[in-house]
Amino acid sequence: EAGVTQSPTHLIKTRGQQATLRCSPISGHTSVYWYQQALGLGLQFLLWYDEGEERNRGNFPPRFSGRQFPNYSSELNVNALELEDSALYLCASSLLQSSYNEQFFGPGTRLTVL
């Protein structure tokens, strides 16, 4: 069974540009979560999508947005990039009906903003 996949592995952008990060969940999982892992800040929850809808968002500005497609894959968009957006972005998926609703993580996308 394939795990959570993310693309691209690395992304380099300049300040003010837009970045698009992609995530494919484990087959059968309907929930996708996005987390930001920035140096010194730890892992911070960004967004949660389930069944195509945004269910919850963390304390991030509106220029962080995303969507979930009918096949449950997801996209994270970051507009007007700032230097402090440089981080590892992790995507996770889960099946809400499972007893623990464990989140399984992808390998991440390293975003560097110059």
Partner 1 sequence: AQTVTQSQPEMSVQEAETVTLSCTYDTSESDYYLFWYKQPPSRQMILVIRQEAYKQQNATENRFSVNFQKAAKSFSLKISDSQLGDAAMYFCAYRSPSGGSNYKLTFGKGTLLTVNP
Instruction: Please say whether the beta carbons of 108 and 88 come within 8 A.
Output: yes
CA dist 85 → 82, 106, 112 (Å): 5, 19, 8
List the one residue from 19, 21, 35, 113 that touches partner 1 (CB under 8 A): 35
Q: Is residue 94 within the footprint of partner 1 (CB under 8 A)?
A: yes
Q: Is residue 36 within the footprint of partner 1 (CB under 8 A)?
A: no
Minimum CB separation from partner 1 for residue 81, in Å? Answer: 21
Under 8 Å CB-to-CB from 93, ≥6 apart: which residues? 4, 23, 25, 26, 29, 31, 32, 33, 72, 103, 104
Q: Is residue 104 within the footprint of partner 1 (CB under 8 A)?
A: yes
Closer CB to partner 1, residue 18 or residue 19?
19
Q: Where on the chain is the footprint of partner 1 (CB under 8 A)? A: 31, 33, 35, 42-43, 45, 48, 55-56, 58, 88, 90, 92, 94, 96, 100-108
